[in-house]
Structures are given as structure tokens and as C-alpha cells.
Amino acid sequence: MTAWPTPSPSPARLTGPAEPRPRLRRPEPLDPARHDRSRFDCGNRVLNEWLRRYAHQNQRRHNSVTWVVAGEEDQVVGYAALAFSAVDLSAAPAPLARHAPDPVPALLVGRLAVDLSMTGHRLGTTLVNQALAVALDASRGAGLRAVIVHAIDIDAVRFYEHLGLSPLSRDDPFDLYILTKDLAATLGSPP
């Protein structure tokens, strides 16, 4: 399990009264009987609706697993949906394609969103770290060459690049990846 990052103080938090850090549970797979998704609002209607209507359906059908972070009352405040995927070898950049099979096995972070109430608490980074930790664990038991993400907008691209992911192609800046061999260093844990 990934360690919880300590939130960096923002300039507004340095000048005003300190906000108490909300009490959150560790990331865990979505349990629709327990986790309240009804009030989740990340500011993107599509991502809100996907969590409410499709996350459990996809999980039940074994298409993806949605990892959630919830508050004390089990209200979901962040989520990341993970699924196994593959990259066509002919479309893979050189570091990903080198000595890889066709297609190249990967873990996809298909959806990632954080409730607006959690802005500034580094919850997005926590969810990415959880996804990378899942990938690292999976790579110890099955072939997994990379983690890939489909960023929803340019701000998400910058976020993922800041965390060490690289563009998957020159043609589509919204697809990024990180090699499995680099995950341990990114997470600060032994391989």
C-alpha cells in the first residue's frame, strides 16, 4: 500500500488560517454497498456520471477495478479506474518497444478524478501512486511492461508529466506512459 503524501502548503494556506486535513481512508476497491458516490463532484460531468453509473458495472463485469478514497462517512472523494490493456508495438515509442512483445502489455489508468472539496490535498497524486503500486505488484506475477494513461485535458497532461510519465506518441499528447522498470524509483520503494 502506498504511503500517504503530506500535502504541500499552498500560498493561500500560508497566509490564512490552516485548514484541517480531512480524515480519509486509504485507497480501496469500490464497494457499492458501502461507498457513497451520490455527492461526488470533480467539476467534470462525464467523470462524475461514470463513477455513479458505470464504475460498479465495469467492476462487476471484470472490465476494470475502481479504487476509491472515502471520508469518514464513506463519501467518495477520489477515484481511479484500472484495467489491463496493451499498446500496439508499431505505435510504441522506442523505450517501450525495445525487446517487447506485440502487443506490449500495460496497465491502463482509464479514469482518475478528485472531488472539488479535496483540491490542494494531493489526493490525485495519492491515487496515481496507488495505481503505480498496483502495477508494480501485478508485474511481479505477470508480464506488465508499462502503465499508460489517457489524460482528459492539458492540465492532466502536465500533472502526469510532473509525476514522471512521458508522451506515448508525438501525435497525441494526451496518452502518456511510464515503464514498469521505473515504478519502484518513482514510488521510492525497492523493485
Average pLDDT over residues 166-170: 91
Whether the Cβ atoms of residue 147 and residue 107 lie closer than 8 Å to each other: yes
Domains assigned to the chain: 24-187 (3.40.630.30)
pLDDT in tens, 101-142: 999 999 999 999 999 999 999 999 999 999 999 999 999 999
160 assigned to active site: yes
pTM of the predicted model, to two decimals? Answer: 0.84
Catalytic residue among 54, 79, 160, 177: 160
Q: Is the pLDDT of residue 48 over 80?
A: yes
% of the chain with per-residue pLDDT over 90 = 78
Reported for 7-16, long-range contacts at CB under 8 A and 24+ positions apart, including other chains, are 7/120, 7/121, 7/122, 8/122, 10/120, 13/120
- Report residue 187's pLDDT band, with 50, 70 and 90 as the boundaries: confident
Neighbouring CB atoms inside 10 A of 123's CB total 24
The C-alpha cell at 96 is 517501450
pLDDT in tens, 82-99: 999 999 999 999 999 999
